Amino acid sequence: MLLSKPEISEEKLDHNPKLRLMKVPLYRTTTQHQTAPIPLPANRDFFCNPLTHGLTPEDCSYMASIGMHSQGVNSLSSNNRIWIGSDGPNTFTFINGARDGASMILIMWYAEENDDQASFMNARRPEISYSLPETGSAVEISVANGVPGGWSALYNRATTLTEYGQVSNTFGEFSTGVWATVDVSRLVNMSGDAMTVRVYGGEESARKPTAPGLKPVCVSDLVTCAYACRGTQVNSCGATGSYDLINCGGPNAVSGTDASGNPNGGCQGWSFGGHIEVVMT
């Protein structure tokens, strides 16, 4: 589901760079579980042979056991969406930062236009399902411009799907291109695992993400530029008026509201190219 654009005229956008940053809000995936009328049926025809690149047999079997639709596409070359490698205009490095040595399975999806079930992993094939078997394991993912999507992770072969079919954990959400934005969302599971998202702006940083002295232009984590449910006893939310975008201010951090009054925004500063480092702990 794409949020509507803020009511800002093109004339104002042309003369106000701060307003220009907020022209297109971030693609939102974590409110969709509120719109699913009934739990979606799991795919019972999940096969692990042949095994997709980067996924271990044990992790594939676990994905099948929790009712996921299928293994990820895991393309090794550009598909104009999301693929494994570092040759795209936007690169994401996903790092297993677990302090207890837990294994992880990175799950990443593409949000096709008008697909309100893009993040339902019992109904859609993920673009990426990649094993990060130990602390320090990492993978580089490329994303084309103009692509909305999100990610989450299955921890230690214990994370399951929600009753609606989404990964029951913390989400990351992004849109690439001219209004590139990324955030952390806790709306599916407020008790989910932690992640820190560091944004390095400019296409050059996508090519050289570890260049000496390079500093992030924006950071999102569980308490910074993050979507969180209102109320201390709420573990999942998504309805209008039920959540906030918290602590999202400063350089390249933007916030606003959609046509329904819901908050939107996140970390920007990487239009048309940049590098995102995600440490999952």
Collapsing DSSP to helix, strand or coil, 11 comes out as helix
Digit-by-digit pLDDT tens for the chain (281 residues) are 223 333 323 333 333 333 333 333 344 555 544 444 344 454 568 999 999 999 999 999 999 999 999 999 999 999 999 999 999 999 999 999 998 999 999 999 999 888 889 999 999 999 999 999 999 999 999 999 999 999 999 999 999 999 999 999 999 999 999 999 999 999 999 999 999 999 998 655 555 555 667 789 999 999 999 999 998 889 999 999 999 999 999 889 999 998 888 999 999 999 999 999 999 99
Which residues, including other chains, have CB under 8 Å from residue 152's CB and lie 6 or more apart? Answer: 107, 166, 167, 169, 170, 171, 172, 188
Strands 243-246, 195-201: pairing kind: unpaired
| CB atoms near residue 159 (< 10 Å) | 20
Q: CA angle 142-145-150, nearest 5°?
A: 65
| Cα 198 to Cα 179: distance, rounded to the nearest angstrom | 17
Tell me what pLDDT residue 45 has: 80
- Please list, in sequence order, all residues whose beta carbon lies within 8 angstroms of the beta carbon of residue 49, skipping any fewer than 6 positions away: none
Name the residue with tokens 């989910």: 192
Helices and strands, number each (H, E), in the chain: 4, 15
User: Quick one: pLDDT at residue 209?
Assistant: 55
Which pLDDT tens digit goes with each residue over 255-275? Answer: 999 888 899 999 999 999 999
Say what the pTM is. 0.86
Return d(Cα 34, Cα 94) in angstroms, integer: 28
User: What is the pLDDT, as a whole number, of residue 271?
Assistant: 94
pLDDT tens across 130-161, in order?
Answer: 999 999 999 999 999 999 999 999 999 999 99
Kindly state the tokens that stand for 275. 């590098």
pLDDT at residue 114 in the model: 84
Q: Cα angle vertex 172, ends 88, 276, to 5°?
A: 35
- pLDDT value at position 116? 85
CA proximity to 186, closest of 22, 33, 6, 51: 33
Say which amino acid occupies 277: E
* R_g of the chain, CA atoms, integer Å: 18
Number of Cβ atoms within 10 Å of the Cβ of 233 = 6
As a whole number of angstroms, the distance between CA 240 and CA 254 comes to 20
Residue type (1 letter), 204 = E
Assign 150 to helix, strand or coil: strand
Assess contact for 220 and 195: CB atoms under 8 A.
no
Q: What is the pLDDT of residue 264?
A: 92
- pLDDT for 205: 58
Amino acid at site 22: M
Place of tokens 């049926």: 41
Confidence (pLDDT) at 250: 87
Question: In whole angstroms, what is the distance from residue 278 CA to residue 96 CA?
Answer: 9
Please return the burial class of 65, using the count of CB atoms within 10 Å of its CB with bins 0-12, 13-18 and 19+: exposed
Distance, in Å, from the CA atom of 3 to the CA atom of 111, rounded to the nearest integer, reads 13
